[in-house]
Amino acid sequence: MTTIRLTGLTVRHRKAVALDGVDLALGTGVHGLLGPNGAGKTSLIRVLATVAEPAAGRVEILGEDVAGHRGRVAVRRRLGYLPQEFGHYPRFTVRDFVAYVAWLKELPAARTPAAVERAVARVGLADRIDARIGTLSGGMVRRVGLAQAIVNEPDLLLLDEPTAGLDPEQRVEFRGLLRELGAHATVIVSTHLVEDVAAACTEVTLLDAGRVAHHGTPGGLAALGADPDAPGENPVERGYAAALRAHRAAPAAGREAVR
């Protein structure tokens, strides 16, 4: 089922073009968003989060057009978002903060306490639920960010660099959580770590200079990197480099329609 449909999406950041006529359709599952710095990953996530306004094109999320106020509010109710820079109030406890976000999402008050506890337990912070966020380590704060993103059991979950600050063991567990969430929701993960994509994602989109350079499965990306002499440590990394090279070599064909 398609939950996100982007048509000719163009986003400008100040004067630079961050996304240039992107067409994309995504459904339930875990989608990895890869690309070099400045490729437009964060711009795409911010448009999907209804935070940034597109300069041109149409954005349809969960069947709603987000150009109108009513559509945006309807989408926001079913949205979870972990921004790249996750801001928080250090004096709030984990419980306070996640409950605050639940309130922002207009979760019914009767359901909130249980939803908060469940979300906090899922990110493994159950024993610190009444600790102030300011006393937590960087990785734990990142997990508070995850908890607030999933407190309303979102149908669309947007995670911008979610694994930054998590240690290897936590990343492995985090991938398990991603797979579980992706069974029922559309999860979009922007990341620099190709091994996260290989391990957890059902689909991968590679962005470069505001355009879609590759869209497929992690297996398909790995297949592009079959040549063991190419630069890169593993097939997915080699595939990533190969897809970028191929995209840059064919600028005229850059505006490919995917699917």
Q: Among residue numbers 63 through 82, which ones bind another protein (CB under 8 A)?
A: 69, 73, 76-77, 79, 81
111 binds another protein (CB under 8 A): no
202 binds another protein (CB under 8 A): no
The answer to whether the beta carbons of residues 10 and 17 sit under 8 Å apart is yes
131-155 burial, b at 16+ Cβ within 10 Å, e below that, comes to eebeebeeebbbbbbbbbbbbbbbb
The answer to whether the beta carbons of residues 199 and 158 sit under 8 Å apart is no
247 binds another protein (CB under 8 A): no
4 binds another protein (CB under 8 A): no
CA 165-220-188 angle, to 5 degrees, is 40
The answer to whether the beta carbons of residues 129 and 93 sit under 8 Å apart is yes
108 binds another protein (CB under 8 A): no
Q: Residues binding another protein: what is the number (CB under 8 A)?
A: 65
150 binds another protein (CB under 8 A): no
Q: Among residue numbers 18 through 57, which ones bind another protein (CB under 8 A)?
A: 46, 49-51
- Whichever of 174 and 240 has its CB closer to another protein, that residue is 174
Tokens 């067409």 sit at which residue? 23
86 binds another protein (CB under 8 A): yes
Q: Which of 8, 27, 68, 90 binds another protein (CB under 8 A)?
A: 90
Helix (H, G, I), strand (E, B) or coil at 99: helix
169 binds another protein (CB under 8 A): yes
